Amino acid sequence: MTTPPPGVYLDHAATTPMSSSALEAFVAEASRTGNPSSLHSAGRAARRAVEESREAVAAALGARPSEVIFTGGGTESDNLAIKGIFWGRRRTDPLRTRVLVSAVEHHAVLDPAFWLAGHAGAEIVLLPVDREGRLDLAGLRAELAEHADEVALVSLMWANNEVGTVQPVREAVRLAHQHGIPVHTDAAQAVGQVEVDFAASGVDAMTVTGHKLGGPVGVGALVARRDLPIEAVLHGGGQERGVRSGTLDAAAIRAFATAVTEAVEQRAERAARLAALRDELVAGVLRVAPEAVLRGPDPSAGAASTGSPARLPGNAHFTFLGAEGDSLLYLLDSAGVQASTGSACQAGVPQPSHVLLAMGVPETEARGALRFSLGVTSTHADVERLIEVLPQVVERARAAGPASPRAMTGGVV
């Protein structure tokens, strides 16, 4: 295992240490030379490593090997899905210009969608979510009833990266497929945390990334049904079904496959441990910081249809009334606890999270957000340390108040 960062690291949803076996696989493959596209023996050896990895990833995710397209990570997979499916669908039917995405998607989905709106005549429909961040299926149903003939695709994440909400992906697929509309899901946060089965879910394309589950950064996959029309975003040597050109990174791919296999194999056991630790963290935070509000689903709830929990087991997310997220972050960091505000940053400028705003959280409250995310190296002692330092941190951050006087006019008490 790569060493976890020193101190208390509660930001595994940002990135989590690489597993020992993934690191070994990476080093072993990186110390060999060979382009998987070459026909000679060096190329064949690399090709074999890539194809065995493809089979392993497919097996772990309930997909067929031919459905696995290796990419440079989650953002690339999302871009390929949104742009590639949009263009693929529009080629056969130019009227299909609507892209339906949930309002709580990651920017790697939202931004390519809005790029298409600005550059390719797409119309983006942001599907509303409830107070826990879960897609409002009635909203999707109504949108499809009215505009099904114009919809190119639906994109709904498997689980939210900020508040951990597991989405009703199967239900969304059922609705979309009634109209023959393909569904993409970003499962970057879900694999290794909850059960993810590509075939059983019915989705047409699925984003997976390495570094959220014990693999390296910079590698991932888009799992896509073979009959899904999808245009290439990167053109060149024609690798990966011609959909994603570029020399295959055999070392990263092997490490990724090793990590995916391990994460899925050990999922149930790890998830149970993380959920217990998370429950302890939530109870502790609410005990010592009365102004904290847990955002997202009740950790003890289950999602109705799948037997999956309603919330990712390693996720806890709070807003702290009257405090600013970046103050909390700084004070925690100086006390040796590393967490995240969970919100999108533009060059490091904290903006209130679009996820929280979509959930109906007022802007003033959304500014005081903190996400704690647990992973394989997290321990009981980590949680204890957080609970120990949190009261002073919150008190001090509340004293520092919001940076902007305008933010104070919103009724914070």
Residues of this chain that interact with another protein (CB under 8 A) are 326-327, 329-331, 333-334, 346-351, 396-397, 399-401, 403-407
Q: How far is the CB of 338 from another protein (least distance, A)?
A: 11
Tell me the C-alpha to C-alpha distance, in Å, between residue 281 and each of 15, 275, 384. Answer: 20, 10, 8
The terminus-to-terminus CA distance of the chain in angstroms comes to 46
User: Contact, 228 vs 205, CB < 8 A?
Assistant: yes
Q: How far is the CB of 160 from another protein (least distance, A)?
A: 24
Q: At what angle do helices 250-265 and 41-61 cross, to 10 degrees?
A: 30
In this structure, what token pair is assigned to residue 90? 């529009």
Q: How far is the CB of 298 from another protein (least distance, A)?
A: 32
Helix, strand, coil percentages for the chain (3-state, nearest 5): 45, 15, 40
Q: Within its chain, how far is the Cα of 191 from the centroid?
A: 9
DSSP assignment letter at 315: E
Q: How far is the CB of 188 from another protein (least distance, A)?
A: 25
Q: How far is the CB of 353 from another protein (least distance, A)?
A: 14
Residue in this structure with the two tokens 């149970």, named with its chain if needed: 272
| 62 a catalytic residue | no
Measure the CA–CA gap between 101 and 89, rounded to whole angstroms.
16
Characterise 99 by phi-psi region: left (phi > 0), alpha (psi -120 to 50), beta (else). Answer: beta
For another protein, the closer CB: 38 or 351: 351
For another protein, the closer CB: 8 or 57: 8
For another protein, the closer CB: 148 or 400: 400
For another protein, the closer CB: 33 or 334: 334
Q: What is the dihedral of CA 195, 196, 200, 201, to 10 degrees?
A: 110
Measure the CA–CA gap between 384 and 315, rounded to whole angstroms.
16
Q: How far is the CB of 403 from another protein (least distance, A)?
A: 6
Q: Which residues does 52 contact at the CB level (< 8 Å), separation at least 6?
A: 254, 257
Neighbours of 217 (CB within 10 A): 15
For another protein, the closer CB: 169 or 331: 331
Question: Which of these is catalytic: 268, 345, 399, 403?
Answer: 345
For another protein, the closer CB: 68 or 329: 329
User: Contact, 36 vs 50, CB < 8 A?
Assistant: yes
What are the catalytic residues?
345
